[in-house]
Amino acid sequence: MESNGNFRQELGRLGEDLACDFLRSKGHTILERNYRSGHLEIDIISFDPEGIHFVEVKTRKMSIQAPPQDNVDPRKQRRIVKAAQAFLKTRKGLPYGSHECLFDIVAVTFVADDAHIEWFPQAYIPIYI
């Protein structure tokens, strides 16, 4: 039997795969997945005509308590912003530095074998940079 950690990792990976497919269907180009800067991480970095999107994906199996997107609290938001700043300083990120930076959340909730995807574009605007 799988351990709870492996199940959660697989569920998260599946949620990110679905989120990438969803964003592509909306015209996004996926630039990076699971970008890391030290201990900071961004699930998906994408680009579309509006700008560069830093996307946090929250995946749950049947949301019993709070909706998945509610888990992106101000502390998590600050960490994503710091990682986004680090990305924009890299060779891959430099070409996007003059574009609008958008911070999105994609919530993926599985009920049985069905996935429900909710996209929250510009879910938060960092004011604490």
User: Residues 86-122: pLDDT tens digits?
Assistant: 999 999 999 998 999 999 999 999 888 899 999 999 9
Assign 1 a pLDDT band (cuts: 50, 70, 90). very low
94: number of Cβ within 10 Å: 11
Residue 55 in any domain: the answer is yes
Whole-model pTM: value is: 0.90
**CATH assignment at residue 13:** 3.40.1350.10
Of the candidates 10, 34, 1, the residue with the CA atom closest to the CA atom of residue 110: 10
**Domain count for the chain:** 1
Burial 43-68 (b: 16+ CB within 10 A, else e): bbbbbbeeebbbbbbbbbeebeeeeb
Q: What is the pLDDT of residue 4?
A: 60
Burial 12-41 (b: 16+ CB within 10 A, else e): beebbebbbebbeeeebebbbbebebeebe
Q: Which domain holds residue 61?
A: 4-124
Of the candidates 52, 4, 58, 57, the residue with the CA atom closest to the CA atom of residue 29: 52
Q: What is the pLDDT of residue 128?
A: 60
Residue 9 in any domain: the answer is yes
Per the CB < 8 A criterion, the answer to whether 23 and 55 are in contact is yes
Residue 129 in any domain: the answer is no
Tens digit of each residue's pLDDT (9 = 90 or more) over 37-61: 999 999 999 999 999 999 999 998 8
Residue 30 in any domain: the answer is yes
Residue 37 in any domain: the answer is yes
Q: What is the pLDDT of residue 17?
A: 97
Q: What is the pLDDT of residue 64?
A: 67
DSSP classification of residue 96: G
- pLDDT surpassing 80 at residue 28: yes
